[in-house]
Each structure stands twice: as structure tokens, then as C-alpha cells.
């Protein structure tokens, strides 16, 4: 049997105020889906209006009820985390610079994740 979450007027007011304050369209869409659920709409209706999958709507409801409004309003993506810092880049390039200064052919090893030149 699915878990039922208690929804009261305080939750609805919290969601409406967060929706009014928020400018991010993705977060606003998540909040609107949560608000529609709080107003008693079925997951299939919400999915049709928002474009979310029914399972994702269920996940949003669960996150909100278990972790609060911040679980729905936070943007969890922080950008490209694969970038190296300048110090890391220098440490990576140093062996290649030494080989280049010695007149050797600089060819990154495949085990480092680089594609070998042909």
C-alpha cells in the first residue's frame, strides 16, 4: 500500500510563497506540481499539465514531505565539476613539458584517459 502524506494549509501556504518568490522556471514547475498535488489533483492530471512522469511527481511529494521545501527548491546541479584547478593542470602538464624540452615526442599515455595520436 502506498504511503499517504498529510497535507495542511501551512504546507500549501509555504509552497505558494516559495512559488511567488522563485524566478527559476524549473524550480517553479516542481513547486506547481507539488501544489497541484496538495490541492488533491491526481498524478496523471499533474503529469499531463507539467510534462513530468508520474513517478517523478511521486518522488517530488516524497522529497518535500520527508526533507522539506529545500529539497524541491534547491538546484542540485553546480556546473561542470570536471574542470581542473590551475595547480592540478600544471601538475598534469609538467611531465609533457619536460619531455618536450628534451626534444622527445610528446604522446599522452592511453592509460591517463587521453586518446593517443596516430
Give the tens place of pLDDT for each residue, 81-110: 677 788 888 888 888 888 888 888 777 664
16-21-25 Cα angle (round to 5): 90
Residue 1 has pLDDT above 50, yes or no: no
pLDDT given at position 45: 92
Residues 47-88: tens digit of each pLDDT: 999 899 999 988 888 888 888 888 888 876 666 667 778 888
d(CA 81, CA 20): 31
pLDDT given at position 118: 46
Using alpha carbons, select from 3, 12, 74 the residue that is nearest to residue 39. 12
CB atoms within 10 A of CB 61: 20
Please answer whether residues 55 and 82 qualify as being in contact, where contact means their C-beta atoms are separated by less than 8 angstroms: no
Amino acid at each position: 500500500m502506498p504511503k499517504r502524506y498529510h497535507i495542511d494549509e501551512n504546507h500549501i501556504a509555504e509552497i505558494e510563497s516559495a512559488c511567488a518568490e522563485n524566478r527559476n522556471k524549473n524550480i517553479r514547475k516542481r513547486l506547481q506540481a507539488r501544489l497541484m498535488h496538495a490541492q488533491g489533483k491526481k498524478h496523471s492530471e499533474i503529469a499531463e499539465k507539467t510534462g513530468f512522469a508520474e513517478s517523478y511527481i511521486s518522488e517530488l511529494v516524497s522529497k518535500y514531505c520527508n526533507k522539506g521545501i529545500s529539497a524541491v527548491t534547491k538546484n542540485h546541479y553546480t556546473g561542470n565539476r570536471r574542470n581542473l584547478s590551475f595547480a592540478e593542470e600544471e601538475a598534469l602538464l609538467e611531465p609533457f613539458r619536460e619531455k618536450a624540452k628534451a626534444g622527445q615526442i610528446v604522446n599522452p599515455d592511453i592509460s591517463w584517459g587521453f586518446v593517443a595520436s596516430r
